[in-house]
Amino acid sequence: MSWFSLQKEKRLSSLAVTTLMNHTIFHFGNSLSLIFLNLYLWRLTNDLWINGLFNLIAILTQALMTLSIGKVAKQKDRLTIYRYGILLTALFYFAILLTQEHIVEFFYLFAILRGIAQSLYWLGYFTLMFEVSNDLNRHRYLGWNQITMGSANLIGPAASGAIISQFEGLSGYLIVFAMAFVMFTIATFGSFRMKRMTTHHREYYMKYLPLIMKRAPGFKRALIGWFIIGFPQGILMYVPPILLYTILLKESTVGYLNVLFLFISILASYVISRIADVSKTRSYLTVAAIGFIVSVLVLFIDITIWTFIVFMAVSAIFKPIQANAYAAHYFQWLGVIPLKDHFRVESVVLREAITNAGRGFGIIVFMLFAKELNTDTIPWVLAAVLGMQLFVPRLIEETPTLISRRNKHERTRYMGTSERKGDAENT
pLDDT digits (tens, 9 = 90+) for 106-127: 999 999 999 999 999 988 887 7
The whole-number average pLDDT for the span 382-400 is 85
Rounded to whole angstroms, what are the CA distances from 327 to 62, 140, 146, 369, 418? 19, 12, 12, 31, 39
Residues 289 and 305: their CA atoms lie apart, in Å, by 24
Q: How confident is the model over 334-367, as pLDDT tens digits?
A: 778 887 777 878 888 898 899 999 999 999 988 8
The whole-number average pLDDT for the span 377-394 is 91
Reply yes or no on whether the pLDDT at 6 is more than 60: no
**Would residue 338 be called left, alpha or beta, if left means φ above 0 and alpha means ψ between -120 and 50 degrees?**
beta
Which of 58-62, 237-241, 247-251 is modeled with the greatest confidence? 58-62
414: confidence class by pLDDT, cuts 50, 70, 90: very low
Dihedral (CA of 197, 199, 205, 211) sign: negative
Maximum distance among all Cα pairs of the chain, rounded to whole angstroms: 95
Residues 352 and 269: their CA atoms lie apart, in Å, by 21
Rounded to whole angstroms, what are the CA distances from 403 to 328, 332, 406, 409? 15, 11, 5, 10
CB 162 within 8 A of CB 255: yes
pLDDT of residue 1: 42
Q: Model-level pTM?
A: 0.81
CB 342 within 8 A of CB 201: yes
Please report, as a single letter, which amino acid is at residue 110: F
Cα end-to-end distance, the chain, whole Å: 53
pLDDT of residue 176: 94
Which three-class secondary structure state does DSSP give residue 226? helix
Helix/strand/coil percentages in the chain, nearest 5 = 85, 0, 15
Element (H, E) at 367: helix 344-369
**Interior CA angle at 297 toward 292 and 302, to 5°?**
135
Which of 139-143, 221-225, 268-272, 414-418 is modeled with the greatest confidence? 221-225
237 DSSP 8-state letter: T
Rounded to whole angstroms, what are the CA distances from 315 to 62, 115, 278? 25, 26, 22
Dihedral (CA of 60, 19, 233, 45) sign: negative
238 DSSP 8-state letter: T
For the ranges 6-15, 21-30, 159-168, 183-192, which has the lowest average pLDDT? 6-15
R_g over Cα of the chain = 23
With b meaning 16 or more CB within 10 Å and e meaning fewer, what string describes 213-243? Answer: beebebbbbbbebbbbbbbbbbbbbbbbbbb
Q: How confident is the model over 312-337, as pLDDT tens digits?
A: 999 999 998 898 889 888 888 877 88
pLDDT of residue 224: 92
